[in-house]
Amino acid sequence: MSQSQKLRGLLKSGIVAAPGAPDALAARLVQAAGFPALYMTGFGATASRLGRPDIGLLTQTEMTTHARDMARAVSIPIIADADTGYGGPANIERTMAEYAQAGVAAVHFEDQVSPKRCGQLAGVKVIPAEAAVRRLRCALGARPADGILVIGRTDALAAEGIDEAIRRANLYGEAGADLVFVDGIKTIAEVEAVARGVSGPKVVSIIDGNETVALTTAELEAMGFSVALYAVTALFAAAQAMRDALGILKRDGTPRAAAAGAMSYAEFTDLVDLPHFQRLDRDFG
C-alpha cells in the first residue's frame, strides 16, 4: 500500500493529527509517539537545514531531498510543504514527480507571490485566485490515479481578509484539490469562520503561541476539519531544550545538571534503530 493510500484510509476514519517534523530524527520521534502521520513543514526544514527563517530560501531540490530523507526514516504518511511549486507549470509537474518519487503522501501548494514566506509572517502577498486555480489543476493533472494528495493552500487571510480566504479555499476545492487549507490563522474566531465557510475536507494549522492551542484535536474534528497540523510544537520544544542544556554546560562547565532530564544514550540509540544494524552485523558481517 502506498503512503497516499494509507493517508486516504486514515482520512476516512477521522481527523488526522500531524505534528511537524523539522528533520528525519524528529520524524522518528513523531512516529514513536504514536501519531498516524507527520508534517514536513518548510518552516522547520529551513530552520534545520539553514538555520534561517522561512522566506523561500530552500529550492525544490533541497525540499524534495529533505522529504526523501524523512520518508526513508519512517513508515507513516508524510504531508509535505511544496511552497508555490518552484516556478511555472513545468516546475510544478516536476515538483509532483519528485515528491511522489520521494515517497510522501500529500503536498500542499500555496497561492503566495514568489518568493514566498511563512504564512504567520507579516507582508504576505498572494497571486490572483484564478492563477492559483490553474496551478492547482496543473499539479492535479501531473499525478497518476490515486497518486499523492494535493492540498490547495491559501495565504489570503493575512493579505486580504477572512472572506477572501474562504472564497479562495472553496475555489480550490471546486478545482479538484483533495483538501483545502487556510493558513495564517491566529484566533479561535478565524478557526470557527473557516469551519463554517469552507466546504469539503479541510486542513487547519495550530501554531504554538496563539490562542488556537486552546482547541483540542477532538474539537477540531467536531468542527469538520480532516487534518490538524502542529507545525512548530516539536521544533520549538527542541530548540528550547537545546538552548537550556547548552546554557547549563556554559555556566557549569559540565553537562551533569542538563543530563538529569535528558534522553539516555541507550534510549537515543533505540530511537535511531541501532539494534537493526547490530543484527545486520551479527548475521552478515
The C-alpha atoms of residue 253 and residue 235 are separated, in whole angstroms, by 26
pLDDT at 117: 63
Domain locations in the chain? Answer: 3-232, 239-284
Structural domain 3-232, CATH architecture: Alpha-Beta Barrel (3.20)
Query: Residue 213 has which C-alpha cell?
Result: 492551542
Query: Residue 43 has which C-alpha cell?
Result: 518552516
Lateral strand order in the sheet of 38-40: 16-19, 227-230, 202-205, 179-182, 149-154, 106-110, 78-81, 38-40
Query: Residue 48 has which C-alpha cell?
Result: 534545520
Diameter of the chain measured on Cα atoms:
63
Residues in contact with 162: Cβ distance below 8 Å, sequence separation at least 6, in sequence order? 190, 193, 194
Q: Reduced to 3 states, what is the DSSP secondary structure of residue 38?
A: strand
What is the number of H-type helices and E-type strands within the chain?
A: 14, 8
The C-alpha atoms of residue 273 and residue 197 are separated, in whole angstroms, by 45
The C-alpha atoms of residue 213 and residue 188 are separated, in whole angstroms, by 9
Residues in contact with 189: Cβ distance below 8 Å, sequence separation at least 6, in sequence order? none
Q: What is the pLDDT of residues 128-184, one digit of tens each?
A: 999 999 999 999 999 988 899 999 999 999 999 999 999 999 999 999 999 999 999
- Provide the 8-state DSSP code for 42: H
Instruction: Please identify every stretch of the chain with a pLDDT value under 70, giving residue numbers as ranges.
Output: 117-119, 121-122
| Alpha-carbon distances, residue 26 vs 43, 149, 234 (angstroms) | 14, 23, 8
| pTM metric for this prediction | 0.94
The C-alpha atoms of residue 163 and residue 95 are separated, in whole angstroms, by 30
Q: Are 150 and 177 in contact (CB under 8 A)?
A: yes
Q: Are 205 and 231 in contact (CB under 8 A)?
A: yes
- Identify residue 252 by its one-letter amino acid code: D
- Provide the 8-state DSSP code for 214: G
**Sign of the alpha-carbon dihedral angle for 159, 125, 54, 234:** positive
| Grid cell 495565504 in the structure block, residue | 155
